[in-house]
Structure 1
Amino acid sequence: MMRKGANWYGVVGAPTDVGHVGCGAAAGPAGLRAAGLMRRLGQVGLVADMGDVAGPAYDGAVDVSGCRSVAETASWCGAVRDRVGRVLAAGGFPIMMGGDHSLALGSIAAASAHARAQGRAFHVLWFDAHPDFNTPETSPSGNTHGLPAATACGLGHPLMLSVGAFTPLLLPAHLEQFGIRDVDPGERANLRAASVRFHEMPAVRAQGLPALVGAALARIAAAGGGHVHVSFDLDVLDPAVAPGVGTPVPGGLDLPSAEIAMRMLGASGLIGSLDLVEFAAGHDREGRTASAAERLLTGFIAARNGRRDPAMAPLDRVA
């Protein structure tokens, strides 16, 4: 562990796809490391590899709720919570590297508890093709990677709700989602009932992702700021840009817009923790998805550290 108070980033690997068994995301952390991600991050910031957390394999059982791998997901999320919490307690900035998106519940649990202990508001900005706002009652698939955002907001299975020290971990009014384009009917009803602000791709194309992200950051700043957690699912990108994901959906974000948004987030000074999930190395082609992940994270860290990454154009020329 790096010394407390240092301006450093702790990368926590979570190599599992219990949230969507067989999607390939379990290979994500190893695939990103093998592609040289840690070396590139180290060129723009002080980065420590905190290693991988561990948890149980899916045993094939279906919960009475109709969902698969609920207990396994809760176990993995608990391990993520504890490791991310250690980074936060030591003054670091945690980057949870998945693994499937169910794991975000663990990092959100740690970040929310950290914010509460500091007396700060807690917000989540969620980038995803899917809102992940199902409950066991509304989920058509029974996959737990479709539940974490709702669970964080206090809606869901008791085992998953117990991952946090309290519930809800997140007020629905403090959740904002970008790039959404695959929403289940019951999930849409859940989002509307909770009054979650979510931007589907037609709105993103019309207004531009940087403008929407800028507006979200302005609202948070105007409300007094707080700890903002970013949860970035690589399937928010168009499959032409990022084919190496577990659940690709056509019509997603282009990489330049996503890069600008990530650099805006880094430069804002508001972000305190981050997820990068759903990299399925076995589905990648020509290293495109791994390269996109690298560009997004290096741009974020460089901007957060007030540095110019020589691999990228100045932000003021592309925003």
Structure 2
Amino acid sequence: MSGSGENILKTPTFAYGSPQAAPVRKIRVLGVPLDMGASRRGVDMGPSAMRVAGLEARLEALGHQVTDGGNIRVEIAETQALGSKSARYLKQIAETCERTAEAVVKALEDGVTPLVLGGDHSLAAGSVSGVAEFYRRQKQKIGVIWIDAHSDINTPESSPSGNVHGMPLAALLGLGPERLANLFGYSPKIAPQNTVLIGVRDIDAAERENLLRAGVTEIYTMRDIDERGMRVVMEKALRAASKGTAGYHVSLDMDWIDPEDAPGVGTPVRGGATYREAHLAMEIVADDGKMLSMEIVEVNPVIDEHNRTADLAVELACSAFGKKIL
């Protein structure tokens, strides 16, 4: 397999906003019920909540071929040692990320698109590493579209909480922690010029410094979305993530969306994307046709309202995989 999109059964050749149908894909769902990276518990039930919301059937209704690969094995926090307070449960999270990365590589080798369900965002160190490794073997790079209220670029040295779900982007860009950064024996996994942050609105001072140190410049805050509009932001983001790459991974943290529409998330922050802005972003991703893989994280059924957030997560997955209004 060349990595040029052969995991997509029909290669699209259309511009943003075109009414042409999105490519039919083979999709493998992978659950990662991980909640050791966060202080607030409950996101380990996120994969089940999204499955209950009808993920597989709703994607199949779009014409895709969907299989469920089950859940990646995750240790139970209460049975594990906390480890360093600057990176709590780092050993166990890294082991989960290793298993996640291998499962993602296997999916891509099988010619299917991985759709990873979280779990907290620390799992992205594994999922993105798996995609990057698959394409590295073919001498290609990948981009990342990081859609999140937070930049997740803290390190154990800079983190005020020691929560590893605030560190996966730092790991992928080679800043650390080393245990996460060096999956598959090399670092970094992604280049800063192909790394795009969208919707951020809660970044601490240390993270600003880490963004500068890593060389990430494609950062679109909620103010950028307010001023420029979602379409302009997404088109710029997708161009940056695609430049010189085989395509991009979409990492969607549900706390990107305003808590009015997505109340059941690990770390809610007011002032997020609206329901329609979120769908528009995913629709533009589908129109672009260069998404290699996707994950949806931080759905917390414990604090959700009648599974609203999981249902919205499934709706957004459908939009990313080609569902249109007309």
Query: Shared fold by TM > 0.5?
Result: yes
How far apart in 1 are the matches of 2:88 and 2:225? Answer: 33
Structure 1 spans left out of the alignment, 5+ residues: 303-308, 315-319
**Which among 8, 11, 17 is matched to residue 35 of structure 2?**
17
Shift of 1:21: 4.3
Contact 2:146-2:195 at 8 Å conserved across structures = yes
1:180-195 alignment, distance < 5 Å = 180-195=200-215
3-state SS of the aligned residue for 2:37?
helix
User: Which residue in 2 is equivalent to 1:206?
Assistant: 227
How far apart in 2 are the matches of 1:295 and 1:34? Answer: 13
Aligned sequence identity (%) = 35
3-state SS of the aligned residue for 1:67?
coil
Shift of 1:273: 0.7
User: Which residue in 2 is equivalent to 1:82?
Assistant: 102
User: Which residue in 1 is equivalent to 2:238?
Assistant: 217
1:155-166 alignment, distance < 5 Å = 155-166=175-186
1:271 lines up with 2:305 in the alignment: no
1:238-249 alignment, distance < 5 Å = 238-249=258-269
User: Judging changes above 3 Å, is the alpha-carbon distance between structure 1 residues 66 and 5 closer, same or farther for their aligned structure 2 residues?
Assistant: closer
Contact 2:122-2:164 at 8 Å conserved across structures = yes
Shift of 1:162: 2.8
How far apart in 2 are the matches of 1:224 and 1:136? Answer: 31
Q: Aligned AA for 2:192?
A: P
3-state SS of the aligned residue for 1:18?
coil
Moved more, 17-26 or 236-245: 17-26
Shift of 1:218: 2.8
Number of residues paired by the alignment?
Answer: 301
Contact 1:123-1:229 at 8 Å conserved across structures = yes
Shift of 1:220: 4.5
3-state SS of the aligned residue for 1:235?
helix
1:171 lines up with 2:191 in the alignment: yes
User: Which residue in 2 is equivalent to 1:149?
Assistant: 169
How far apart in 2 are the matches of 1:237 and 1:152? Answer: 23
1:114 lines up with 2:126 in the alignment: no
Q: Aligned AA for 2:308?
A: R
1:313 lines up with 2:325 in the alignment: yes
User: Judging changes above 3 Å, is the alpha-carbon distance between structure 1 residues 61 and 9 closer, same or farther for their aligned structure 2 residues?
Assistant: same
Shift of 1:210: 2.1
User: Which residue in 1 is equivalent to 2:75?
Assistant: 56
Contact 1:109-1:165 at 8 Å conserved across structures = no
How far apart in 2 are the matches of 1:24 and 1:204? Answer: 30
1:27-82 CA-partner distances (Å, limit 9, x unpaired): 0011111222222122111111110010223324232x722010011011011111
The Cα RMSD (Å) is 1.7
3-state SS of the aligned residue for 1:19?
coil
Q: Aligned AA for 1:49?
A: D
How far apart in 1 are the matches of 2:132 and 2:168? Answer: 14
How far apart in 1 are the matches of 2:196 and 2:241? Answer: 11
Shift of 1:13: 0.3
User: Judging changes above 3 Å, is the alpha-carbon distance between structure 1 residues 213 and 28 closer, same or farther for their aligned structure 2 residues?
Assistant: same
1:27 lines up with 2:45 in the alignment: yes
Shift of 1:114: 1.3
Tell me the TM-score normalized by structure 1: 0.90
How far apart in 2 are the matches of 1:105 and 1:248? Answer: 21
Shift of 1:255: 1.5
Shift of 1:225: 4.2
How far apart in 1 are the matches of 2:160 and 2:283? Answer: 35
Q: Aligned AA for 1:190?
A: N
1:276-295 alignment, distance < 5 Å = 276-295=296-315
Q: Aligned AA for 2:270?
A: P
User: Which residue in 1 is equivalent to 2:13?
Assistant: none
Contact 2:46-2:310 at 8 Å conserved across structures = no
User: Judging changes above 3 Å, is the alpha-carbon distance between structure 1 residues 270 and 53 closer, same or farther for their aligned structure 2 residues?
Assistant: same
How far apart in 1 are the matches of 2:281 and 2:174? Answer: 28
